[in-house]
Amino acid sequence: MNGYRFCFREEAGVQKPAYSPASAVILKLVERINVVGAGLIGLGSAWRLAQKGAEVTVFDARDAGCEASWTAAGMLAPGGEFFEPSELATLGMRSLAMYPDFVRELEEDSGVTIDYSRSGAIEVAYSDAEAAALETRAAAQKLCGIPSEACKHDSRPARFFPEDAHVDPRDLTRALRVACQRRGVNLLENEPITKISADGRVWTANGVNAGSVTLVAAGAWSSALLTDLPGPRPEVIPVRGHLISWPLRAGLLGPILRHGSTYMVQRRSGVLLAGTTREYVGFDRTLDETALAEIQARAEELLPLLAGQAPTERWNGFRPFVEGELPWISQLGRSCVWAAYGHYRNGILLAPETIQRVAGYLLA
């Protein structure tokens, strides 16, 4: 291993000062890391940790990358997300700047081509009041380092955000899967973790897996896995979102197109996606016909050539929301368990920054 980090192994439920000679604390070197969750955050972290020499096992309850990281539109779009300076905006901008190198390195390590485009984004105003609000917002966004310029879209007032970009998140998880396997990561799919103990052990229906450290990166499912662990942590709430898509002529849409909560992004293949909704319905996977019809109507208003064309794909997924919308990347008390979850609407954008931070913490 290139780097080692000390963590403390404590007897579960026993309150002892960490540095007291009387405490039953055992110092242990990090050499085997369990990662719970093979979404973009878990797989990305596993890849980085394995690159740095750690021995990593990743567990997923289903197939790798099939939850929020499969659902997402993949917009890397501070211009549509951050309206004033904040810690989240700073993280988002930092992660956006890391994307070109992140994609290049991952393509090299995996041999998988990733659909990534620094396309920019156009945000349209439908009224004078909306245009004025967009101008005011743009002035505040300038303070976060988010540039934009006034433009027109179909004779409507609009703003162009040149630095917004997009990526196909399914390409990212496909590439990470290969890169992880090439780096010797042990990926165990359809192997749900049922329990995690403070000493880093994880349980599945097939038994116990020891680990000197466990990283929980189970997106909207993370809270339920942390119940037996010490220390404060934010509760994660699933926020469902629907998306629809049409196979269209490639190159039809250049920049991302947005109006309010409606957005459109086109993949290199021609597939054009539109979203979205924000629904508080727990983990209900039922497709909501009303929500889908509403997205379609909004999409047709923004891009009239879609009128009358039924989408060929419709799906939904669960954003991991935490209060304050700032992802939680931290150790659970003084246990051997860390967590990285709560990326809510921006987990694809925040992935490079998150996985770099996780590797720094676990292998410091």
Ligand X SMILES: Cc1cc2nc3c(=O)[nH]c(=O)nc-3n(C[C@H](O)[C@H](O)[C@H](O)COP(=O)(O)OP(=O)(O)OC[C@H]3O[C@@H](n4cnc5c(N)ncnc54)[C@H](O)[C@@H]3O)c2cc1C
Contacts with ligand X, residue ranges (CB under 6 A): 36-42, 59-62, 66-69, 71-75, 192-193, 217-221, 225, 241, 243, 275-276, 317-320, 341, 343-349
Distance CA 296, CA 245 (A): 9
Q: How far is the CB of 145 from ligand X (least distance, A)?
A: 18
Please give the DSSP secondary-structure letter assigned to residue 282.
Answer: T
What's the distance, CA 63 to chain centroid? 17
By beta-carbon proximity to ligand X, the closer residue of 244 and 303 is 244
Q: How far is the CB of 313 from ligand X (least distance, A)?
A: 13
The C-alpha angle 28, 176, 256, rounded to 5 degrees, equals 130
338 in Cβ contact with 272 (< 8 Å) = no
Q: How far is the CB of 336 from ligand X (least distance, A)?
A: 17
By beta-carbon proximity to ligand X, the closer residue of 4 and 203 is 203
Q: How far is the CB of 258 from ligand X (least distance, A)?
A: 11
CA–CA distances in Å: residue 281 to residues 66, 171, 221, 228, 321: 19, 28, 14, 26, 13
Distance CA 152, CA 320 (A): 35
Distance CA 187, CA 176 (A): 11
- Amino acid of residue 112: V
Q: How far is the CB of 151 from ligand X (least distance, A)?
A: 22
Q: How far is the CB of 238 from ligand X (least distance, A)?
A: 9
Q: How far is the CB of 17 from ligand X (least distance, A)?
A: 32
Q: How far is the CB of 195 from ligand X (least distance, A)?
A: 9
By beta-carbon proximity to ligand X, the closer residue of 11 and 288 is 288
What's the distance, CA 70 to chain centroid? 10
Q: How far apart are the first and last CA of the chain?
A: 12
Closest CA to 3 of 34, 29, 27, 39: 29
318: left (phi over 0), alpha (psi -120 to 50) or beta: beta
Q: Which helix (H) or strand (E) holds 123?
A: strand 121-124
By beta-carbon proximity to ligand X, the closer residue of 157 and 211 is 211
Q: Which residues contact 82 (CB under 8 A, 6 or more apart)?
A: 88, 89, 92, 93, 141, 144, 146
